[in-house]
Structure 1
Amino acid sequence: MYLFSETTMKYVVMSALVAFLAAPVTAQEIVFGAGYTKYGNISASDAPVIELEYHHKPFHDTRHWDVSWGGVVSGTADEDYFLGVGLVGTYDFDSPWFAEVSVMPGLYSEGSILTDLGDALEFRSLLGVGYAFRNGSAVSLAIVHKSNASLGDVNPGVNTILLRYHKRF
């Protein structure tokens, strides 16, 4: 049994995508990621994934750490969708290199029973390292984990590796 119909979830994902793309004038950063998933359920087929993130202008800024609000929308080739919002932390190494962490709770809709993560509420955590270019863009490699933190009856989780492109404004 699915929380949302396929049509409803596609509408939600597309609406979020349009909202993210319409926001670059006030955005701190837009991030596009592409990668591959590895499900905790061994019967599930692993699938390609794409993600689009929006990182707002930092509300906390120190010499090395920036903290901001962010949002993410992601989808797999198997029609699994996630829409989340939360905190993004970026550590600047006083060089072109940076590290990023984020935690974003959100809604998850599985494309099949095999990719069911146990609950509609899932928590997405990210750890990445990247290289910033002088023109305001950057690339990063990130590992993402989604889990329901044992709120559901089952909690197989899913891990993703992403290659990401950042555009700062």
Structure 2
Amino acid sequence: MIRILLAALLLTAGANVAQAQSLIVGAGYADFSNNRGKDQALFALDYHHSPFHEAMRFSAGWGGTLSIDTSGDTHIGAGLYGVYRLGQGWFLEGSVMPGAYFESESRNDLGGNFQIRSLFGVGYAFDNGNKLSLSVSHKSNASTEDFNPGVNEAMIRYHFSF
């Protein structure tokens, strides 16, 4: 728990929280592609800063991510996110967050510490600005290493807007 809190502080350090678009809490399941891997529950915390680009229904910005599974495997990264508003509260979201991965069990090795999390989700925005989404994501080293099994994740995410 202390590890999660410290990482959350690092993700938001130097950021003006008053300008932040959202803090996103997620829970779900991690399915390791390597048959030796231990599939398990996953928890995530993302931060999306105010968009630097907005045009019509699309917005893009910088963000950060932290995820930890029940074995203690941890990924922390930063990168770009995008949101496309479909109308009537519905939206699509996507992000690419390269970062560092640390497995706590050797069977959950993803081929190296450098891993890229890509995410796609669909969600609904409530009248108060908060949102709920379902997402699928994939972590991989993008074949920068000889061993690249990857891990797929499905999550339900709640977006607290600021």
Q: Shared fold (TM-score greater than 0.5)?
A: yes
Residue identity in the other structure for 2:53: H
Partners of 1:159 and 1:34 lie apart in 2 by: 13
Residue identity in the other structure for 2:32: Y
Residues 5-154 of structure 1 mapped to structure 2, 5 A cutoff = 13-20=4-11, 24-154=17-147
Q: TM-score, normalised by structure 1?
A: 0.89
Displacement of 1:13 in angstroms is 4.6
For 1:61 and 1:162, the matched residues in 2 are separated by: 26
Q: CA deviation at 1:24?
A: 3.7
TM-aligned CA deviation for residue 12 of structure 1: 6.3
Secondary structure at 1:117 match in 2: coil
Choose 40-49 or 65-74, whichever is displaced more: 40-49
Structure 2: 5+ residue stretches without partners: none
Return the match for 2:153 from 147, 151, 160: 160
Amino acid in the other structure paired with 1:55: H
The amino acid across from 2:59 in the alignment is D
Which whole-Å CA distance do the structure 1 matches of 2:18 and 2:129 have between them?
14
Contact (CA 8 Å) 1:13, 1:83: kept in 2 or not? no
Q: CA deviation at 1:148?
A: 0.2
- Where 2:8 maps in the other structure, the secondary structure is helix
Contact kept, 8 Å, 1:132 with 1:139, in 2: the verdict is: yes
Residues 80-117 of structure 1: CA deviation (Å, up to 9, x unaligned): 00000000000001220000010000000001111000
Aligned-pair identity in percent equals 43
Letter in 2 for 1:123: I
| Structure 1 portions without partners, runs of 5+ | 1-9
Q: Matches of 1:83 and 1:110 in 2, distance apart?
A: 12
Is 111-120 or 19-28 further displaced after alignment?
19-28
Q: Which runs of 4+ in 1 moved over 3 A?
A: 10-14, 19-24
State the number of aligned residues. 160
